[in-house]
Each structure stands twice: as structure tokens, then as C-alpha cells.
Amino acid sequence: MNILLDTCTFLWIVRDSPQLSATARTLFSDPHHTVYLSAVSVWEIAVKHGLGRLPLAESPHHYIPHERAKHGIAALDLTEAAVLEIRRLPPHHQYPFDQMLICQAIAYSLTLLTPDGQIQAYPVRIA
């Protein structure tokens, strides 16, 4: 399975948060799965950190690549093909970061690992 992490899921994984469900831990830990962190999540983390709403141990420039490498998470760039999926989405969820993650999951047939129940309204595989 190819898995795209929601931003909060990435943060919960790298912080070993108790908020991360047992199912999410199992899926993330399975060596047969390829796990991705989107450039969209990197953007969201950098924005929230810059606004003082997301404290990190170090700057996002160091924190994100370090944690990705440490946890064996691949980077996923935002491409034109993924962005163009936005026109096909019903207007259920107006949060732009989540919309782009949904678009990427659809464009690349990824399973989105998220606790966000609103995302279930979209034609995307979630776990």
C-alpha cells in the first residue's frame, strides 16, 4: 500500500503521540508500505510554525527533512496533475491544505492516513 500522511499524522508519528491510533501505527510500521509526506504538509507546517502556532524542536528547514529521513518517509512533490484534481472535488471541506492532500491521494492512487472524518466524504481511500 502507498500511504500519504495527513500533516497531523506525520507530527504524531515523529512525536510518538498517544493521539496516533493503533491502526495508524500498524499501517505506518508495515515495511511493505511506502509512506509519503507531501510538500503540502511541509508548507502547512512551515506556515503554522512561522505564525507561532506550531512549536518545533528546530526550524522546519531542519526538522522536517531530519524527521522524514529518521522515519523512512519519502517526499511527495506537488504537481500540476494533482492540483488539477481540485476541479473534481465536491465542496465538502474548505481547508486548502486538506484539499490538496486529497487531490494528491486521488491523482496518485494513495491511501490518505488521517483522523479527519470529513475527508471520508471524498472519493479517496483513507485509513
Q: Give the residue-averaged pLDDT of 6-14.
A: 98
What average pLDDT score do residues 72-92 get?
94
The CATH number corresponding to 2-121 among 3.40.50.1010, 3.40.50.620, 3.40.30.10, 3.40.640.10 equals 3.40.50.1010
Take residue 52 and report the three cell numbers written for it: 507561532
Q: How far apart are the C-alpha atoms of 16 and 25, rounded to whole Å?
A: 9
Q: Looking at the predicted structure, is the pLDDT value of residue 20 above 90?
A: yes
Does residue 93 have a pLDDT over 80? no
* Residue 45: strand, helix, or coil: helix
What pLDDT is attached to residue 111?
Answer: 98
Q: Show me where the domains of the chain are located.
A: 2-121
Give me the pLDDT at residue 90, please: 87
CA distances to 7, 12, 48, 78, 127 from 62, in Å: 17, 18, 15, 20, 28
Give the tens place of pLDDT for each residue, 27-53: 999 999 999 999 999 999 999 999 999
